[in-house]
Amino acid sequence: MVGLEVPLGENAWGADTVLIAADAIDVPFKVLGYSIAPTTENTIIVGLSADSGASNFVEKASSSKKNKAVGGGDATDFIFNAGTRISASGYASEAGKTFKVWLEIQEI
């Protein structure tokens, strides 16, 4: 499976990137976990949001080898309503970098 690519901002949050479109899941669901693979070896901060980036239900610093996936474990115990849009953004200290992200979803 191919991860979705999310841009990292330079000393700021990068663009809010849709991971799950609002019309993609028609039942309540949980985000059980996630994996990321950054294109940089610097520490990044990953944010997962259910409100287009206004707030994050996950905000986690991560450091891993370039292009090597690392698991994020439990993301949240919150149950999202059907039709909820899930997005991601990233924060880093250098420009032009990205990370790939994979979500583990459980439909309720």
pLDDT at 69 over 70: no
Give the pLDDT score at 16.
97
Rg (alpha carbons) of the chain, rounded to whole number: 13
DSSP 22-53: TTS--S-EEEEEEEEEESSSS-EEEEEESSTT
Q: What is the pTM of this model?
A: 0.87
Token pair listed for 22? 């609002």
Query: What are the CA-CA distances from residue 80 to residues 61, 68, 73 (Å)?
Result: 23, 29, 18
Domain ranges of the chain: 4-107
CATH class held by domain 4-107: mainly beta
At 33, the pLDDT band (50, 70, 90 cuts) reads confident
Environment class of residue 13 by beta-carbon count within 10 Å: exposed (0-12), middle (13-18) or buried (19+)? middle
